Structure 1
C-alpha cells in the first residue's frame, strides 16, 4: 500500500487517533495537512512527519466554522498542490458521562458543531476540488456509540449516527465522480481521555471487549489507510467497526 504523491487532510491530528492516522499515512508516503486548533501539538506532529521525509503543513481551523474550513481547503491546495484524501477525525465529547436531561444546550451545540457539522463543513469544503479531479477518498471517524447508542452520551451518539447516515447518502451522490465515502467506527481507545481515567475503570472497560484490551490509535489508522487507498476502490458507503467485536452489525 502506497500513498506516494498523495495529499491527505487529517482534522484533529494533534493527538490521539488523529495523530496516529496522520503518522501512518505519512509512513506510507502521503503528504499531510494537520488541521488543528492546538497549534503546539500540530507543530509537534508536523515535525515527526517531516522527519519521515514527507511534507507536512499545519492549518489552524475550527471545523465547526464553515468559513474556516473553506479557507483551510484553499490553503492546502495552495501549499501542497491538491487534496486526495480527507479524514474527518476532529471530535468533542466531555470525558464524564451524563444523562441527556442533565446537559445544557451549549454543550449539545458544541458536540453537534464539531462532531456532525464539522464533518459536513469540511467535506463540502473539499468536494468541488475532488469532483474537478474526478478522484477522492473521504473517511470519517464515527463511533460505535453512533451505531448502537451509548447511555450517558446521547447527543454524541446522535451526532456520530448522523455522520454514518450522511456518509451513506453522500456516497450515493458522488460515486459518479470516483469519490469513495466511508466511516471507521472506533470503540474505546487508549489516548488522552483514557490516560486520566482510574486504572480500575480502564480495566473494566477493556474487559468489555472480546480481545480484553483497549484499542490503540494504530488499530484505527490501519483501517483508515485501507479505506483511503486504491485497494478499497469498490467499497463505498460502509462503516467498519474497529472495536474488538463490541458491535456486530
Structure 2
C-alpha cells in the first residue's frame, strides 16, 4: 500500500483531506443558499436581487475550464492507477449539479434560454459523474480492505449530511422542489466525503495541503467557487 500512498501524494492533484472537505462543504452551502434564499454566496452584490438568475455562459465556461483542467491533469499524472482517475472524475459531480440548480432555480422566474441548456446538460452529466464517484469510492474501500488503511465505518459517516436534511421539511415556506434539489445534491456528491477522508488517511496528509499537486488542487478549489460568482448585468 505504500506505493498507492505515494501515488496519492505525488500524482493526485485535486483537493482531499480537510481541504477537500472544505471544498465540498462550501459547495453544499452555496447550493443551499441558492435553493432556499436565491443568494449566490460568492456574489454579495446580488444578495438583494429579488430573484436569482443563472450564471452567464461566459463565466460558467471560465469556471468549467478551471475545474476540468486540474481534473485532466490529475488523470494524466495518475494514468497507471485507475481508481484515482475515477475518483478525480467523480469530483466534478458538484459542478454538474450546479447546472441543474441554476436551471431549476432561475427558470422559475426568468425563463432564460441558457436555463434549458443547463438543465439538458446537467441531468445526464450529474448522473454519470455521481455514479463514477460512487464507483471509485467503493473500489477504493475494497482495495484498502485488509490493509492498515482499511475503513469499516466510513459508510456511516457518509450519510451524516442527511441529518440536517431531516429538518428541512419543517422549515416554513420551503417548497417541495427545493427539498428535492437539496436531497439530490447530497445523494449525488456525498461520495466525496468518503473520498477525501480515505485519501487523507492513506497519504498520511489529513490536511490535504502537502501534496505535490497542491497548486492544481488550489486552482480546482477556485474554479468551484467561480461557479457561484456572477454579475447581475452580465446576460451573456
Q: What is the TM-score with the length of structure 2 in the denominator?
A: 0.30
More strand by percentage: 1
Higher radius of gyration, 1 or 2: 2
Greater relative contact order (Cα < 8 A, sep 6+): 2
Give the alignment's TM-score, normalised by structure 1.
0.29
